[in-house]
Chains A and B, each alone.
Chain A
């Protein structure tokens, strides 16, 4: 048994310590955003944020997460109260099938939390581990640029929803 902190909530997880986080998120906690794309750390669909860093949850065993904070896309916002990154992706219609998008968004969110004004080059380099078979890349880039602007204005006002630990 292990206590796992996800999106600010503690969960008691009954799984072997070598179980990758992805299966715990999806099967034990029943969260949908992190996806199984390859199970090998080669596509990025499983990306979540752990202590502020983007991490491939399909190759991150539970035992590495002792005492750490995990944030998934669900933890950033909802349809009614979306985080800037979620709003940006909706406004740019940045998804075709959408399977890769949660991973893309978490990687982008981690980047923007560390560097609120990345260049286009830096965004591209950061998203390099992520695959999109549909070819939505240009919209994803536009959405990240839009998120930069939205986060800028959000910070200008008071409490910012959608900030991952």
Chain B
């Protein structure tokens, strides 16, 4: 695994790009430019970037309703992402999917999923397919602490284990399933301990430390790629925004959110580390934020300029052979 200044800069840049994209999405939603509802991953960039930084382009990834960060970290095009969120014809899914149902098969991104735990059965199949086709790809499934309490997780982890599938199950424990605290809804403190029930390694990491995530993910991915089977990786983090944009968040205090933002923000923490290592300085940091902002601004312009689909296009893309 590369461990040099350039790599660290890339990690930081990607985290900032995600933050800028998510911030833009929140603003555009509030301004009525993005229809429907959206779920932002602000505060969880360490998880997205740490894991995806050890994946290859041909590795598979599924994610959740809170998946913009994963998709960007896997290498998606910001213009087509923004256009999809805006409901435009030039979006990844021609405006048919939106934020929760977005995919880019050209980079192995098998889709976000609007159903909690919807990605786990699918990733099991992707893992089985890799094994049957005898390639050395890896399949990674991001899911949340809420999904961890759903039945499909049990089936998927058991199947992946008995068949030694090349899968990394990555549960992002952001401490809330919608409005319900994980500490209330989950039978264990560390979801990774559930791995024991499936005879696979389980590890919990502080996911607001991108390098810790990267190291743990690298081990899990190497294990999967080496034919040794699945791992359950628990990325412990904090959802700094509401479940959805507009969430009144009566289930927590402003002080709680502020204390996380102040002390635990994964981007600030990493900037501190990189500054100490003399990889970053104030000027360089500002430049990275500005560059990311410009890229995101370009994506918004692309989305705004793009046409909506023609209404009749609603009847296309259902079947290969209608």
Whether chain B is bound by chain A comes out as no
Residues of A within 8 A of B (CB): none
Interface residues of chain B, those whose CB is within 8 Å of chain A, are none
